[in-house]
Amino acid sequence: MQQASHEREAWGSRVGFVLAAAGSAVGLGNIWRFPYVTGQNGGAAFVVIYILFVLLIGMPVMVAEIAIGRHARRNPVGAFRKIAPKGLWPLVGFLGVATGIGILSYYSVIAGWTFGYFIKTLLGAFSQSMTSEQSIVVFNQFVGNPLIAIGHLFLFILFTAVVVMGGVSAGIERWVKILMPLLLVLLLILTIRSVTLEGARKGLEFYLKPDFSKLDGGAIAMALGQALFSLSLGMGAMITYGSYVGKQDNIIVSAGWVCFFDTLVAILAGFLIFPALFARGLDPASGPGLVFVVLPTIFAEIPLGSFFGAGFFLLLTVAALTSTISLLEVTVAYMVDEKKWRRKPAALFMSCLAFLLGIPSALSFGGVDWLSRMPRIGLGFLDLMNIFMGNYSLTIGAFLISIFVGYKWGMAGIRAEVEQAGAVFFFRKTWTFLIRFICPVAIFAIFVYIVVTKNYF
């Protein structure tokens, strides 16, 4: 990370921003969340809708967020305030900061499991062949133990806080450059084993043969939420990262790369999980434990399986870390820019908040009964956070951002920003149409539908 000519930090290079933004985007959302929501929502048809949303909503909103950030050179609250000093727009930034803490709290619980599974695999817990029943028992024992769950949550938030205290990305650029390609390689190795298992075919069919009768309004809302979550959109993470982007970068090209990498990893994760899942006779709709139950059943079937398995969970932990860094960074940038706190106390304070808020999520997999299945709703606390923070809050954020850029900041404003230093605004007309009409109308329609049909979860 270099010091820019003004006081604000900047990414080392254009590749630096793409790497950091891809680091934020690629994470548990791709490898943990994408397969299980796809499993819960019927498979291939969900994937088709997901890809449509990445292209029609994710991509335009990504460009909008980066442009807002680069233009204002501030955190989300300050950015809205700078571009539209009067009115309520900074509230969109506040919503983002609150959502950042909310997502960080439960995301770190799952990231903690990932780290725990790295240690377990390394110690040889999965070196013998495992049936799916055995794998389920191991998983339930692990996540149901309150001390283990809270301990891992603590550890993971600590990792995140330490990195963020050090400055925006002293290291993110360098780490991501080496570790992401490595994660892809391990993903490929495990996927090859998964698709060649006996009985894998059914999984491929589930994943690739769309049956649109399985889609309802709830599934469509989930696909949209998943696309935004996976791309880190709707809460200002890309506004914050965009605020460190140099004026010579082409925002459209950068956004295109980030969307491409992120979608590639998610699609690959599906090829890893579904064949093995069907080969092992597991239920695709079994929820957040999916990846942790499926993967250990194939490690013993691969030469050096414990080694590759441990490597995979380690890299996934790092991928999660580069995402939690961006979540925490949004809140820290807010405290530093707007409240004039120093970086270290701000990071410490916000991570303590996230830790406290994460405790009920950590206890919601058997640790405490009523948190695991909450009265009336029938969902666990983490599931609830995941739906409200990780879906609806991001969706509302993306809706407001598209209205802001499309109608308040306006096309002239954004155009001047994107075309800085002679950069070409590729697909400008299409983009304008998407951000002004398709994004807000589609999101609004989905909301009305789920409210009317009471299909919230």
Q: Does 183 bind ligand PFF (CB under 6 A)?
A: no
**How many residues at the interface with ligand PFF, by CB under 6 A?**
15
Among 114, 191, 194, 326, binds ligand PFF (CB under 6 A): 326
Smallest separation (angstroms) from ligand PFF to the CB of 69: 12
Please report whether residue 194 would count as binding ligand PFF according to CB under 6 A: no
Q: Which stretch binds ligand PFF (CB under 6 A): 203-211, 227-235, 339-347, 414-422?
A: 227-235
Write out the H or E segment, with its range, that includes residue 379. Answer: none
Which tokens sit at 259?
Answer: 């969307």
- Judged by CB under 6 A, which of 28, 111, 168, 405 binds ligand PFF? 28
Assess 327 for contact with ligand PFF (CB under 6 A): yes
- Closest contact distance (angstroms) between CB of 141 and ligand PFF is 26
Which candidate, 58, 95, 62, places its Cα nearest to that of 76?
95
Separation of alpha carbons 117 and 389, rounded Å: 25
3-state class of 130 per DSSP?
coil
- Smaller CB separation from ligand PFF, 364 or 391: 391
Q: Which residue in the set 38, 105, 108, 232 belongs to the binding site for ligand PFF (CB under 6 A)?
A: 232
Q: Which of 38, 132, 230, 317 binds ligand PFF (CB under 6 A)?
A: 230
Contact status: 41 vs ligand PFF (CB under 6 A): no
Element (H, E) at 113: helix 90-122
Q: Least CB distance from residue 281 to ligand PFF, whole Å? A: 28
- Give the residue with the Cβ less far from ligand PFF, 41 or 232: 232
* 6 to 25: interface string for ligand PFF, x by CB under 6 A: ------------------xx
Q: How far is it, in rounded angstroms, from Cα 327 to Cα 270?
A: 25
Gap between the Cα atoms of 59 and 56, Å rounded: 6
Provide the minimum distance between the beta carbon of 329 and ligand PFF in the complex, in angstroms, as a whole number: 9
Nearest Cα to 106, choosing from 383, 299, 294?
383
Q: Is 164 near ligand PFF (CB under 6 A)?
A: no
Q: How far is the CB of 183 from ligand PFF (least distance, A)?
A: 12
HSE-CB for 411 with a 13 A CA cutoff: 10
Tokens of 421: 């230093």
Nearer to ligand PFF, 126 or 229 (CB): 229
DSSP string, 331-350: HHHHHHHHS---HHHHHHHH
Nearest-approach distance from CB 398 to ligand PFF, in angstroms: 11
- Looking at the Cβ atoms of 114 and 326, the one nearer to ligand PFF is 326
**DSSP code string of 190-215:** HHHHHHTSTTHHHHHHHHHS--GGG-
Ranges within 91-150 binding ligand PFF (CB under 6 A): 103
Q: Taking contact as CB under 6 A, which single stretch among the options 153-161, 179-187, 229-237, 337-345 is the one that binds ligand PFF?
A: 229-237
Collapse the DSSP code of 300 into the 3-class scheme (helix H, G, I; strand E, B; otherwise coil) and give the result: coil
| Minimum CB–partner distance for residue 230 and ligand PFF (Å) | 4
Q: What is the CA radius of gyration of the chain?
A: 21
Q: In whole angstroms, what is the distance from residue 365 CA to residue 145 CA? A: 9
- Report the distance separating Cα 327 and Cα 24, nearest Å: 8
Determine, following the binding rule CB under 6 A, whether residue 393 of this chain makes contact with ligand PFF. no
Nearer residue to ligand PFF within complex by CB, 173 or 329: 329
Provide the minimum distance between the beta carbon of 380 and ligand PFF in the complex, in angstroms, as a whole number.
19
Q: How far is CA 21 from CA 78, 94, 186, 251, 363, in A?
A: 20, 21, 21, 12, 31
Indicate the residue whose CB is closest to ligand PFF: 29
HSE, side-chain direction, 13 A CA sphere, residue 143: 27
Q: Which residues form the interface with ligand PFF (CB under 6 A)?
A: 24-25, 27-30, 103, 229-230, 232, 235, 237, 323, 326-327
